[in-house]
Amino acid sequence: MIEYIGITVLWVFLYGYLIIGSIDFGAGFYSFYAKITNKKHTIRKVIDRYLSPVWEVTNVFLVFFMIGLIGFFPNTAYYYGTALLVPGSVALVLLSIRGSFYAFANYGARESNVYLFLYGATGLLIPAAFSTVLTISEGGFIIADESGVRLLLGHLFVNPYSWIVVLLAIVSVLFISASFLTYYANSAHDKEAFELMRKFTLIWGGPTILMSFLVFLTLSTHNPEHFQAMVEESWIFVLSLLSFLAALWLIYKKQQIGIAFSLVCLQFFFAFFGYGYTHLPFILYPYLTIYENITSPEMGITLIMAFIAGLFLLVPSLFLLLRLFIFDAEYVKGN
Amino acid sequence: MLEDPVLLSRWLTFITLGFHIIMATIGVGIPIFISIAELIGIKKKDHHYILLAKRWTRGYTILVAVGVVTGTIIGFQLSLLWPSFMQSAGHVISLPLFMETFAFFFEAIFLGIYLYTWDRFKNPIFHWMLSIPIVIGSSASAFFITTVNAFMNTPRGFDLENGAFTNVQPFVAMFNPAMPSKVSHVLTTAYLTGAFILAAIAAFHLLRGKTHIYYKKALHLAMIGCFVFSVATIVNGDISGKFLAYYQPEKLAAAEWHFETTDRAKLLLGGILNEDEQEVKFGIEIPYALSILAFNRPSAEVIGLNDFPQDLWPPLYIHYFFNLMIMIGMFLAAVSFIYLVFYYFNRFNSLNPWLLRAILLGGPMAILSIEFGWILTEVGRQPWILRGYLKVAETATTSGHVFEMLILFSLLYLALGILLPVILIRLFTKKSVESEIDKHHIIL
């Protein structure tokens, strides 16, 4: 029971990071795009107004997931920690460049093309790097024996599944971010920004679905066991597809943009939880399962209680943040 | 050396944490003064204090941003460089690690709100109230993460049977014997360092010939903080000594080059050690002082290093770090005491240039003393990573690529270390205090 609660909590936080992180990462890219195509005033204002107050919160979701994973499943620290030294460090450096340069540009009060470029580029490279961890969890890239745990980096680089996942991550980031910014621009009554972001949402919608199908296809040869499980639970992926179609339809028709963005969130909710659910019981195929690697019940129950206590603190605070900066019409409009 | 993952992992952890604790300490130390300044400003309707809070917040935000980055790095690096340690730690001490992220989450949310709502409330006290979660969140982060470090020094709350952790008691592990002295020392020294940095900035401007009352108010507010927290630091520094004497006598003995168990033990300052003869040259000895530090009695018996097998001795160079930390602590206390005496007795000038220079020096000194104290406690725990259970050498990664990562991160910190002061200086020179006071209306 503890293992199911644990993995669900972690997956919820990773899903939170997926949505909030994607908005943030994609916004970096669009910000840079706006700069080089001189569309600065149309979308930069909207992006800045959203990003400034919330960017620090984004990172916390990721750290929370990592610490929670080690708390509930301590053995993951040993396997993933040993194997991911190099790719993990590279991702950390990218994350650092992005975080600090955003702060430098934003609070240091000087507009610099170098900062913006780094900010935009890392926004696409970071999700690419993180998505490979999910690929690695499918097995075939980590070898554990008496001599220790090793990552087969070469295999990862020539594997088609691994590249499709990277592409899916990048287009998803651009799609999620565009659909959110469409909604935000719409709330701000910023017509120009709305049209531009709407266009981007429609452009990236197709590749998102295409890449999702290709992920299915390549997974069938890479990890047939997982693929089979996904086929058995295919209803959840059908729901994901329906949410996607409904969202795209609304955005195309320029109606109910708020609901459209919620549908995009739902689309990824179904896909992400469907993926996660069928991935079980493995955390790292075939070495780690949630059953054998769960922490002691004493620690597990304490962590769950701490988590519930923490939610009582966080949910109202997050609500306040959203109220003040996302759902406050006057703030969104820039008044 | 380039082949040894243990040594390289220690170096990389040292560099990351050495860089991170500067941001972390300031991040914990400054919010309390921002909050006090804003409250004074609201209560006294004094615009200068509001501006003070705003300007401090601006610098604080950039430091926190870099602190978030380096904190994320060290959070992941613990698993990447010390996978076996995190595996063990995950079993027993993950509760405070988990809660630390909550505390930080809380702080980050309210910092975001605080920064962008200076003029959004009709009653400014509501804005001030937003600073309280920031103070609580940052201090709680320090509290939780320090309990983990305390656990590494005095592991409790589990049984180890054939390499498996059983009978785990998360709260016993968290509230281990090292926790009270360590947490109080970390918190008060963070507040002290924060105060001294703010005081040093004000002193710098006054030395440069600025005469606006704003700087004097800033200096005075910060110096009161310096005095209060330097007294608190001396008190809990003393408690830390007593904790070590009882629970980690080998650390205290190594820090004091105290080899033979004796009563009426003397405290040693400086000196050069001949390790083979266990003799010290050129040191200053204070009779009975070590016994008093350890047990409050001049006649108390203090355990010497020779009572421990030599392969469990910490490196003896920590003596110098111990001395330097204490000397800086005393210097900071003296400077803040003299300032207050000068301020409240009109015969003296509390803005005496020599005193201002000492205050200016106090800022960087406080940071150095944080670094020295941290080196003392970490190196003083060697060879253990979990004292009595797990050695550092057994827990490092087995990867052959640590050296490349060491280079990679060193370059990152070098870049950040150069850019950070440049950005901060640019930010504060672009909008001078005088121009902001003139405008009377300040937007972040």
40-69 of A, contacting B, C-beta below 8 A? 52-57, 59-60, 62-64, 66-68
Positive or negative: CA dihedral B437, B439, B441, B444? negative
Q: Which of A53-57, A187-191, B355-359, B372-376 has the lowest mean pLDDT?
A: A53-57
User: If residue B273 lies in a helix (H) or strand (E), which one and from where to where?
Assistant: strand B272-274
Q: How confident is the model at residue B442 (pLDDT cuts 50, 70, 90)?
A: very low
* Span A225-249, average pLDDT: 86
Residue-wise pLDDT for B316-359, tens only, equals 899 999 999 999 999 999 999 999 888 888 777 778 888 889 99
Q: What is the pTM of this model?
A: 0.89
Cα A142 to Cα A159: distance, rounded to the nearest angstrom = 14
Given CB atoms, is B115 within the 8 Å cutoff of chain A? yes
Question: Parallel, antiparallel, or unpaired for β B301-302 and B284-286?
Answer: unpaired
* Span B217-244, average pLDDT: 91
Please answer yes or no on whether B108 and A68 come within 8 Å at the CB atom.
Answer: no
Given CB atoms, is A224 within the 8 Å cutoff of chain B? no
pLDDT of residue B270 exceeding 60, the answer is yes
* Span A219-235, average pLDDT: 84
Q: How confident is the model at residue B192 (pLDDT cuts 50, 70, 90)?
A: very high
38-67 of B, contacting A, C-beta below 8 A? 58, 61-62, 64-66
Which residue of chain B has the CA closest to A67?
Answer: B98
Cα B152 to Cα B146: distance, rounded to the nearest angstrom = 10
| Residue-level pLDDT at B190 | 95
Q: What are the residue ranges spanned by the domains of chain B?
A: 5-261+303-438
Q: How confident is the model at residue B276 (pLDDT cuts 50, 70, 90)?
A: confident
Provide the CA A198 distance to its chain's centre, in angstroms: 21
Q: Which of B37-41, B98-102, B163-167, B206-210 has the lowest mean pLDDT?
A: B163-167
Residue-wise pLDDT for A80-109, tens only, equals 888 888 888 988 999 888 888 777 777 655
* Span B92-115, average pLDDT: 87
Given CB atoms, is B15 within the 8 Å cutoff of chain A? no
pLDDT of residue A49 exceeding 60, the answer is yes
pLDDT of residue B435 exceeding 80, the answer is no
pLDDT of residue B195 exceeding 90, the answer is yes
* Span A143-171, average pLDDT: 85
Cα A284 to Cα A69: distance, rounded to the nearest angstrom = 12
Given CB atoms, is B95 within the 8 Å cutoff of chain A? yes
| Residue-level pLDDT at B184 | 94
* Span B403-413, average pLDDT: 92
- In this complex, which of B83, B108, B416 lies closest to A78 when CB atoms are compared? B83
pLDDT of residue A194 exceeding 80, the answer is yes
| Residue-level pLDDT at B443 | 40
Positive or negative: CA dihedral B122, B128, B131, B136? negative
Q: Which of A109-123, A139-153, B87-101 has the highest mean pLDDT?
A: B87-101
- Higher model confidence: residue B1 or residue B108? B108
Please answer yes or no on whether B90 and A71 come within 8 Å at the CB atom.
Answer: yes
| Residue-level pLDDT at A130 | 87
Cα A47 to Cα A177: distance, rounded to the nearest angstrom = 10
Residue-wise pLDDT for A158-176, tens only, equals 888 889 889 999 999 999 9
Residue-wise pLDDT for A254-294, tens only, equals 888 888 888 888 888 988 888 888 888 887 778 778 787 78
Percentage of chain B beyond pLDDT 90 is: 36
Given CB atoms, is A324 within the 8 Å cutoff of chain B? yes
Q: How confident is the model at residue B272 (pLDDT cuts 50, 70, 90)?
A: confident
CA proximity to B71, closest of B120, B119, B104? B104
Show the domains of chain A with their CATH numbers.
Answer: 11-62+74-280 (1.20.1630)
| Residue-level pLDDT at B180 | 93
Residue A39 burial by CB count (10 A; 0-12/13-18/19+): exposed, middle or buried?
Answer: middle
| Residue-level pLDDT at B191 | 95
Please answer yes or no on whether A306 and B76 come within 8 Å at the CB atom.
Answer: no
Shortest alpha-carbon distance between residue B405 and chain A (Å): 7
Mean pLDDT for all residues in chain B: 87
Q: For the complex shown, is ipTM > 0.90?
A: no
Q: How confident is the model at residue A39 (pLDDT cuts 50, 70, 90)?
A: low
Given CB atoms, is B84 within the 8 Å cutoff of chain A? yes
| Residue-level pLDDT at B413 | 93
pLDDT of residue B218 exceeding 60, the answer is yes
Residue recorded with tokens 């004493």: A298
Positive or negative: CA dihedral B297, B300, B306, B311? negative
| Residue-level pLDDT at B444 | 37
